[in-house]
Amino acid sequence: MPRSYVNLGHPPRLTTAQTRITITATPKRWTRHNPDLTDALDFWSFAGAAANVVMQIGWPEIAYGVIESKVESGSLMAHPWKRARTTTQYLAVAILGSDAERAAYREAVDGAHRRVRSDENSPVPYNAFNRELQLWVAACLYIGFEDTFQLLHGRLSGEALEHFYQRSSTLGTTLQVTEDMWPATRADFDVYWNTACERVRFDERTARFVDDLVGLRMINWPLRATFRNLLTFLTIGFLPPLFRERLDLAWTEDDRRRFERLFVFVSFVNRFLPRFLRTGGSHLMMRDLRRRIRKGTNLI
């Protein structure tokens, strides 16, 4: 049996105010009735991608699985654009794909994950096939979609939030997470999330990796100089208070207001863009995946 990392037998010691970003309770800006994850594939949903990686590696086992990975072709630092493509494609197939397409992508990812396991020199034991580690990663991915959707469309509550959540289990079940592991309701997810966040730790090596990631040290200097400040602002803005505190990242009330105003502006602009433009990237990823499946070429 895989090691159990989260003890759900006690009430969470952390609160949502510590483990989630603040989204002002404004009226809905623009959205259809009872949205779901397919409505969250706006290209701005990936603005918090770096923050999501930071959240995932808040668990030491995930951090060292990434840092020590022997799969050089999938290394974020060595091949950032390929890693971005495979991750974005995973999200697309998890949300838009058929069962057969998810199974094909699972098989491809499994091939890479077989080499992601700790050895005698690793400071923590890890195995990429551990379902609880995958559940944590999938939960982080869900948080990213929910946060960006609400920043763009206004806060969801009640029936709409539950409906948005109900199709999210495929973020984990596209790999080894089983359906019964995924919290059944949005309220259950809150309990899992707040409890799982108790394990978040960043040691010195992980903090250096975060610094390299946010500093865009994996890409060439012209792009780095152009986008570093924006990425740093977005990354810190998408991190919940708990993560900022444990990484000693400053974030003021003025920063929070600027962050929200940015998304008010983006939301205003987005409402005039056709849906196919806003979500086109994910559908292009699905076309590429289907082409690769037809031709029998590598999926990742």
DSSP string, 231-277: HHHHHHHHS-HHHHHHHT----HHHHHHHHHHHHHHHHHHTTS-HHH
Q: Which amino acid is at 117?
A: R
Most confident of 68-72, 84-88, 132-136: 132-136
- What is the pLDDT, as a whole number, of residue 229? 87
Residue 51 lies in a domain: yes
Is 2 within the bounds of a domain? no
68: nearest Cα among 204, 172, 211, 209? 209
In-domain check, residue 6? no
The domain of 223 spans: 31-295
Question: Is the per-residue pLDDT at 277 higher than 70?
Answer: yes
Q: At what angle do helices 204-214 and 221-238 cross, to 10 degrees?
A: 120
* CA nearest neighbour of 156 among 37, 249, 261, 52: 37
pLDDT for 30: 56
3-state helix, strand, coil in the chain (%, to 5): 60, 0, 35
| Per-residue CA distances from 187 to 2, 39, 121, 131, 184 (Å) | 25, 21, 40, 21, 8
Note the pLDDT of residue 31: 62
Residue 96 has pLDDT above 60, yes or no: yes
Q: What is the pLDDT of residues 134-158, one digit of tens each?
A: 999 999 999 999 999 999 988 888 8
pLDDT class for 125, splitting at 50, 70, 90?
very high
Total tally of structural domains belonging to the chain: 1
Q: Model confidence at 1, in pLDDT bands (50, 70, 90)?
A: very low
Average pLDDT, the chain: 90
Residues 156 and 90: beta-carbon distance below 8 Å? no
Q: How confident is the model at residue 176 (pLDDT cuts 50, 70, 90)?
A: very high
pLDDT exceeds 70 at position 98: yes
Above 90 in pLDDT, residue 84?
Answer: no
Q: What number of CA atoms fall less than 13 Å from residue 18's CA on the CB side? A: 14
Q: 3-class DSSP state for residue 117?
A: strand
Q: Is residue 105 part of a domain?
A: yes
Contacting residues for 68 by C-beta, under 8 A, at least 6 apart: 118, 122
Contact 46, 234 (CB under 8 A): no
Q: pLDDT-derived band of residue 228, with 50, 70 and 90 as boundaries?
A: confident
- What is residue 300's predicted lDDT score, i.e. its pLDDT? 82
Contact 174, 102 (CB under 8 A): yes
Higher-confidence position of 121 and 83: 121
| pLDDT tens string 32-44 | 678 999 999 988 8
- Angle CA(110)–CA(213)–CA(175) in degrees, nearest 5? 20
Q: Is residue 175 in some structural domain?
A: yes
Question: Does residue 12 fall inside a structural domain?
Answer: no
Q: What is the pLDDT of residue 285?
A: 94
**Residue 10, in any domain of the structure:** no
Q: Residue 3: inside a domain, yes or no?
A: no
What's the whole-model pTM score?
Answer: 0.93
